[in-house]
């Protein structure tokens, strides 16, 4: 167990904008920061971070909370894992009590796999740096590639001994279970035999965006024709090739800072670029680029520069990945290295300044690059030229933005020397074809009755109780002049009347006294606990900060408070103020908001009481009993009428 002191220290030190900024590109929006949701596929920002309140809210998925909640949602950390991650990030020493055998036994399966992967990572590093075989074979290879010791240690590079079961036996000896060695793919089990998957290979650990080891890539150094040159960990519960980019952990901050991401093909390309000072570089690790991988980059920047080797044959096939990038609404540039060069070799042979200059001068917009490449293939063949024009228009059709799509069509028209009208017609054909294939056609026309959505019953009591919590959270310490209504009986007529009386008090005091006077208790368990906690905090401290209580709340309660806090600032996402659309702030009408909420709650409770009384009349056994209940109904109806008049409602 992690000590309470450590947890408090972590919350005190962590900055939600810094932590989330490692995963999502955030831009200033008033006093807050906004970006694309990391939980849904969207093109318009709906994700908001409040540095002042130290909370975040994703309006597209409804998720929200504090910095730990983000890590638990985004990285699927457990609570202790999130605390440990933050402690490591901010250099905080963790005070931890020893876990019992029972607690260790109940560790979840994913965590066991993470632990095994981390253990393997350390084993391979030690094999590389601390054994004669590792230094002679693995370390020599990395140094031949031009990697410095700092780079080797930074990327956790390692070596798996050229022995069938060196790693597996050592892991079992150190208490790791064969079940998890097999599930992570580190060991292969066949009947009663078990052996290492990465025997005799230099090792490249593959990290998640938060730095956890998910799997490995291993390169063989011998000339064995039967063995694959590169071997990756198999798919597992923690490693999904299509959702991971090699180097993203080391590149994320540089990508956001530079507002651009260089996409290369191999592990060594990423490492060599990083060593040369171009840190905003990632790789799809030899697999075909996927939409999930592109979305990882899209969280950090809208700009990708794809780097191709000087091998024309491989370039043509790689162009297909560009269409996927365009579909995500991203900006794509392409840079090709000279014949016989790749990012690794070119970075080795040139200084950082020369490398940056080359990338700057040779990065071209994808449309001009693809056109020149395909025109070279078509040359004077009109059939091939027509085919490549269709290919170009097909790529342009993937772009979701209408203006950008039109600009690209105009550029394509200029490069290809073909009229824009023809290109627009071709684009329309492609779009119509896509619509036909995406929407199933009805064979026979038939009248279909429009389905009506089922009506959702509104829980008025929930809304009213939530509004009270909202008022306390946002304005609890504010002082206002409240017009209180005292229920009195007219001495002459005997009728009930509400007599106004102005009193100055803090918002939380007004609410507390009103609810106590009416003996009103919250029906919702979370709200009931929140109400008690907030009232106590407001009553005991002058400087009430809601951020201080969120960290102590249960998940459901923290979610409610976050929703309340961030909902007030949701309009910033739409920039209504820039369009001269004024947004009325609750601060302008706090006393009205408080009074209306309390009156509405009273009226609602009276309505509930009247319903109960009417039911009692129905089941009453004697006429006398019915008469007594009817008199009670008359009294509550009068009170209800007074409240309704006060609320400005017409009965």
The CATH number covering residue 261 comes to 3.40.1360.10
> pLDDT band for position 205 (50/70/90)?
very high
pLDDT of 544 > 80? The answer is no
- Is residue 497 situated within a structural domain? yes
Structure confidence at residue 304 (pLDDT)? 94
**pLDDT tens digits, 326-336:** 888 888 999 98
CA distance 599 to 36: 40
Number of domains within the chain: 4
- Is residue 14 situated within a structural domain? yes
> pLDDT band for position 442 (50/70/90)?
very low
Going through 524-583 in order, the beta strands assigned E by DSSP cover none
Do 212 and 345 sit in the same domain of this protein? Answer: no
Structure confidence at residue 373 (pLDDT)? 72
Do 361 and 415 sit in the same domain of this protein? Answer: yes
> pLDDT band for position 573 (50/70/90)?
low
Pick the range with the lowest mean pLDDT from 87-96, 236-245, 366-375. 366-375
Question: Mean per-residue pLDDT for 368-376?
Answer: 74
CA distance 461 to 281: 53
CA distance 254 to 275: 13
Do 136 and 214 sit in the same domain of this protein? Answer: yes
Residue 630 φ then ψ, to 5°: -65, -40
Pick the range with the lowest mean pLDDT from 240-249, 430-439, 537-546, 614-623. 430-439
Question: Mean per-residue pLDDT for 465-486?
Answer: 80
Half-sphere exposure of 642 (CA within 13 A, CB side): 19
Domain residues for the domain of 275 are 248-436
- Is residue 327 situated within a structural domain? yes
CA distance 424 to 396: 11
Do 16 and 35 sit in the same domain of this protein? Answer: yes
Structure confidence at residue 449 (pLDDT)? 52
Structure confidence at residue 581 (pLDDT)? 47
Half-sphere exposure of 641 (CA within 13 A, CB side): 10
Question: Mean per-residue pLDDT for 629-645?
Answer: 77
pLDDT of 461 > 60? The answer is yes
Pick the range with the lowest mean pLDDT from 182-196, 484-498, 527-541. 484-498
Residue 163 CB contacts under 8 Å (≥ 6 apart), including other chains: 196, 199, 200
Do 258 and 389 sit in the same domain of this protein? Answer: yes
Structure confidence at residue 135 (pLDDT)? 95
pLDDT of 481 > 70? The answer is yes
The CATH number covering residue 229 comes to 3.90.980.10
> pLDDT band for position 650 (50/70/90)?
very low
Do 231 and 252 sit in the same domain of this protein? Answer: no
Do 310 and 217 sit in the same domain of this protein? Answer: no
Q: Among residues 385, 403, 436, which one ends one of the domains?
A: 436
Do 272 and 331 sit in the same domain of this protein? Answer: yes
CA distance 420 to 137: 59
More confident residue, 632 or 279: 279
- Is residue 367 situated within a structural domain? yes
CA distance 9 to 5: 6
Structure confidence at residue 278 (pLDDT)? 95
pLDDT of 495 > 90? The answer is no
- Number of Cβ within a 10 Å radius of residue 102: 7
CA distance 125 to 209: 21
**pLDDT tens digits, 390-400:** 888 888 888 88
CA distance 463 to 604: 11
Q: Among residues 237, 258, 277, which one ends one of the domains?
A: 237
pLDDT of 411 > 70? The answer is yes
CA distance 301 to 488: 65
Pick the range with the lowest mean pLDDT from 437-446, 568-577, 608-617. 437-446
- Is residue 449 situated within a structural domain? no
Helix or strand holding residue 497 (H, E): strand 496-506
The CATH number covering residue 28 comes to 3.90.580.10
Structure confidence at residue 216 (pLDDT)? 96
Residue with tokens 């590639």: 145
Pick the range with the lowest mean pLDDT from 97-101, 233-237, 492-496, 565-569. 97-101
Do 263 and 307 sit in the same domain of this protein? Answer: yes
> pLDDT band for position 98 (50/70/90)?
low
Pick the range with the lowest mean pLDDT from 124-133, 468-477, 559-568. 559-568
Structure confidence at residue 437 (pLDDT)? 57
Q: Among residues 89, 115, 139, which one ends one of the domains?
A: 89
pLDDT of 547 > 60? The answer is yes
Do 171 and 292 sit in the same domain of this protein? Answer: no
Contact assessment for residue 393 and residue 427, using Cβ atoms and an 8 Å cutoff? yes
> pLDDT band for position 570 (50/70/90)?
low
> pLDDT band for position 435 (50/70/90)?
low
What is the reported pTM? 0.66
More confident residue, 319 or 334: 334
- Is residue 444 situated within a structural domain? no
pLDDT of 447 > 60? The answer is no
pLDDT of 587 > 60? The answer is no
Structure confidence at residue 579 (pLDDT)? 47
Do 638 and 602 sit in the same domain of this protein? Answer: yes
- Is residue 575 situated within a structural domain? no
pLDDT of 555 > 50? The answer is yes
Structure confidence at residue 583 (pLDDT)? 46
> pLDDT band for position 422 (50/70/90)?
confident
Max intra-chain CA distance, the chain: 110
More confident residue, 136 or 556: 136
What is the DSSP secondary-structure string of 255-278? Answer: HHHHT-EEEESSHHHHHHHHHTT-
More confident residue, 552 or 182: 182
Q: Average pLDDT, whole number, for the chain? A: 82
Do 499 and 633 sit in the same domain of this protein? Answer: yes
CA 641 → CA 308, 344, 397, 648, 649, distances in Å?
77, 81, 63, 11, 9
Residue 64 CB contacts under 8 Å (≥ 6 apart), including other chains: 55, 56, 57, 58, 559, 562, 563, 566
Burial of 355 (0-12, 13-18, 19+ CB in 10 A): buried
Contact assessment for residue 50 and residue 566, using Cβ atoms and an 8 Å cutoff? yes
Pick the range with the lowest mean pLDDT from 106-110, 308-312, 589-593. 106-110
More confident residue, 40 or 175: 175
- Is residue 447 situated within a structural domain? no
CA distance 12 to 10: 5
Residue 44 CB contacts under 8 Å (≥ 6 apart), including other chains: none
Structure confidence at residue 407 (pLDDT)? 85
């Amino acid at each position: 167990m992690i000590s309470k002191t450590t947890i408090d220290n972590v919350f005190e030190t962590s900055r939600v904008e810094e932590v989330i900024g490692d995963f999502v590109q955030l831009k200033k929006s008033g006093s807050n920061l906004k970006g694309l949701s990391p939980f849904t596929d969207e093109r318009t920002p709906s994700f908001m971070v409040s540095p002042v309140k130290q909370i975040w809210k994703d309006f597209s998925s409804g998720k929200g909370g504090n910095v730990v909640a983000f890590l638990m949602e985004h990285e699927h950390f457990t609570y202790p894992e999130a605390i440990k991650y933050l402690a490591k990030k901010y250099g905080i020493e963790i005070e931890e009590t020893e876990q019992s055998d029972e607690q260790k036994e109940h560790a979840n399966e994913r965590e066991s796999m993470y632990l095994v992967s981390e253990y393997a990572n350390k084993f391979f590093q030690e094999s590389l740096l601390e054994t004669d075989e590792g230094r002679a074979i693995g370390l020599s290879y990395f140094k031949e590639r031009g990697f410095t010791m700092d780079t080797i240690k930074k990327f956790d590079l390692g070596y798996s001994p050229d022995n069938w079961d060196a790693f597996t036996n050592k892991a079992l000896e150190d208490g790791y279970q064969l079940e998890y060695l097999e599930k992570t793919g580190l060991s292969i089990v066949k009947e009663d035999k078990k052996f290492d998957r990465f025997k005799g290979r230099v090792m490249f650990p593959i990290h998640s965006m938060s730095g956890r080891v998910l799997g490995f890539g291993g390169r063989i150094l011998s000339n064995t024709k039967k063995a694959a040159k590169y071997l990756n960990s198999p798919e597992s519960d923690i490693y999904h090739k299509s959702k991971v980019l090699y180097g993203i952990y080391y590149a994320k901050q540089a990508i956001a800072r530079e507002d651009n991401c260089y996409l290369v093909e191999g592990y060594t390309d990423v490492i060599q670029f990083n060593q040369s000072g171009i840190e905003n570089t990632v790789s799809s690790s030899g697999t075909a680029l996927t939409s999930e991988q592109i979305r990882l980059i899209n969280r950090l920047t809208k700009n990708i520069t794809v780097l191709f080797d000087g091998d024309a044959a491989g370039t043509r096939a790689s162009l297909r990945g560009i269409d996927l990038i365009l579909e995500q609404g991203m900006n794509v540039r392409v840079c090709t290295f000279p014949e016989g060069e790749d990012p690794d070799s070119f970075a080795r042979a040139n200084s950082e300044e020369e490398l940056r200059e080359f990338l700057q001068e040779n990065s071209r917009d994808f449309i001009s690059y693809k056109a020149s490449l395909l025109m070279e293939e078509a040359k004077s063949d009109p059939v091939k030229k027509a085919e490549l024009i269709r290919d170009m228009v097909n790529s342009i059709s993937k772009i979701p933005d209408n203006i950008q799509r039109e600009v690209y069509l105009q550029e394509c028209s200029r490069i290809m020397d073909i009229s824009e009208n023809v290109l627009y017609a071709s684009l329309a054909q492609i779009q119509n074809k896509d619509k036909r294939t995406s929407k199933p056609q009805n064979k026979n026309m038939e009248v279909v009755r429009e389905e009506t959505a089922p009506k959702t019953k509104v829980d008025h009591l929930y809304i009213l109780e939530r509004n009270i919590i909202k008022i306390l959270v946002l304005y609890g310490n504010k002082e206002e002049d409240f017009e209180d209504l005292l229920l009195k009986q007219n001495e002459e007529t005997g009728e009930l009347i509400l007599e106004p009386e102005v009193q100055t008090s803090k918002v939380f005091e007004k609410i507390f006294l009103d609810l106590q006077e009416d003996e009103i208790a919250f029906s919702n368990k979370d709200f009931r606990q929140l109400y008690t906690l907030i009232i106590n905090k407001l009553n005991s401290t002058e400087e009430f900060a809601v951020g201080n209580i969120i960290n102590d709340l249960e998940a459901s309660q923290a979610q409610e408070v976050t929703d309340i806090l961030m909902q007030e600032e949701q309009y910033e996402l739409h920039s209504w103020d820039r369009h001269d659309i004024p947004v009325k702030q609750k601060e302008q009408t706090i006393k009205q908001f408080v009074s209306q909420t309390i009156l509405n709650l009273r009226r609602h409770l009276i309505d509930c009481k009247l319903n109960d009384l009417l039911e009692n009349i129905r089941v009453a056994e004697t006429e006398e009993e019915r008469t007594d209940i009817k008199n009670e109904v008359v009294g509550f109806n009068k009170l209800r009428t007074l409240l309704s008049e006060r609320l400005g409602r017409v009965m």
